[in-house]
Amino acid sequence: MLCLGAVGLSAVLQGCSSSNYFAKTQLDAKRIAVKKSEFVFVDGEKTKQRKYILVRLDQSEFPICLYKHSETEYSALLMYCTHKGCELLAQGEYLVCPCHGSEFNNRGKVLNPPADQDLQQFKTIVDNENIYIQL
């Protein structure tokens, strides 16, 4: 479905306090490596954790939303609505479709129709430093 090729990924960095934070990524064959530290940001004098980060791909019009459930568990969800193909919006712990209102939880399961199929999910592997998304 996705034609990701071997072209480098864009690394778009938005404001650190934004909820829509785009990770810096690296392409390793069929994997994206996202540093765990991308989930950490400083708010004033406090260090906080993002619930999710977005990964934009040069070869796909749809980004991946990477949710953190724990230090070792993540969900990588394609932000492509399974109803009619609109790009989803991340809203904290869930994703919403601006076209007809479908909602999905942070593991890609349908919460509200009209979509009736879960989101495409990519396998993730975690080591001490990175989350690897298998494309």
Least separation in angstroms between CB 85 and ligand FES: 6
Task: Pull the structure tokens for residue 103.
Answer: 């909602």
Identity of the residue, 81 or 133, whose beta carbon is nearer to ligand FES in the bound complex? 81
Q: Note whether 134 and 30 are within 8 A (CB).
A: yes
User: What residues numbered 94-113 form the site for ligand FES, per CB under 6 A?
Assistant: 97, 99-102
Closest separation in Å from C-beta 81 to ligand FES: 3
* Binding-residue pattern over the window 69 to 88 for ligand FES, x denoting contact by CB under 6 A: ------------x-xxxx--
Backbone angles phi and psi of 36, in degrees to 5: -60, -30
Contact predicate 65/90, CB 8 Å = yes
Q: Can you give the length of the chain in residues? A: 135
Contact 87, 81 (CB under 8 A): yes
Contact 97, 91 (CB under 8 A): no
Element (H, E) at 132: strand 130-134
Residue closer to ligand FES (CB basis): 27 or 90: 90
Closer to ligand FES by CB, 32 or 115: give it.
115
Nearer CB in complex with ligand FES: 2/86: 86
Smallest gap, in angstroms, from Cβ of residue 130 to ligand FES? 31
Query: Where does this chain bind ligand FES (CB under 6 A)?
Result: 81, 83-86, 97, 99-102, 114-115
